[in-house]
Copies of this chain bind each other. A is one copy, B any other.
Amino acid sequence: MLTVIGIGPGSQAMMTVEATEALAAADIIVGYKTYTHLVKAFTGDKQVIKTGMCKEIERCQTAIDLAKEGHNVALVSSGDAGIYGMAGLILELVSQQQAGIEVRVVPGMTASIAAAALLGAPLMHDFCHISLSDLLTPWPVIEKRIIAAGEADFVICFYNPRSRGREGHLARAFDLLMTVKNPATPVGVVKAAGRKKEEKWLTTLADMDYDPVDMTSLVVVGNATTYVKDGLMITPRGYRL
């Protein structure tokens, strides 16, 4: 039995009841070391297998092999396992290898939802998720989506906004957006949501400071009606008040 668990952005408070139960029931916990650390309240004397960054395929294979041996394995993924997480890779590998194990995906709180609750209510209207990592996606595809999302006035959540080797991606994305959106459009940033070092701030497309943004950050760009009031970022749903 292999359970792929979305553990949410960091704090136990944002885990689902189902995720806490699945963690408690597992014999072995497998995950990227930052994430196994986030669930250490649940590990007790269970075996914990930590793997490094960019070792996704090895990590998933380890979890599958242990499940084939009969263990009850929990593979932890930050946020939701099905959003830029490990659920897809596990299902692809299990199917390709005809591994014959039972797999369950336990959904989790993704970063955009956690960040939105901290910023106010920026996702009250149609929105999209765009990852700015071009490790697995050609950059021209990403640019096409950025422009389309801007032109159709979606609220935009940028995942993986900035990291070593792609410091310029977020700035490039904002430059593209400013060709189709008002440069004064509100922008909210939440860093390390639900973790000890949580930070958040509000700015605009034109005034954005890219330097403090890192891989643990989630960037939300408003639509044409989004405004900031009393320190909160709000996208109206459209009620007449």
List residues of A whose CB falls within 8 A of some B CB: 6, 8, 12-18, 20-21, 56-57, 80-85, 87-89, 91-93, 95-96, 105-110, 113-114, 116-117, 120-131, 136-137, 141-142, 144-145, 147-149, 151-154, 229-230, 232, 234-239, 241
Number of copies: 2
With a cutoff of 8 Å between Cβ atoms, the chain B residues found around residue A131 in the complex are 125-126
Chain A contact residues: helix, strand, loop or mixed: mixed
A107 and B96 in contact, given A128-B126, A152-B148 (Cβ under 8 angstroms): no
With a cutoff of 8 Å between Cβ atoms, the chain B residues found around residue A106 in the complex are 117
With a cutoff of 8 Å between Cβ atoms, the chain B residues found around residue A88 in the complex are 120-121, 124, 234-237
- Across the interface, A87 reaches (CB within 8 A) one of B57, B92, B117, namely B117
Q: How many angstroms from the CA of A16 to the CA of B12 in the assembled complex? A: 9
The 4 closest A-B pairs by CB, nearest first: A136-B238, A148-B152, A128-B128, A88-B121
With a cutoff of 8 Å between Cβ atoms, the chain B residues found around residue A85 in the complex are 124
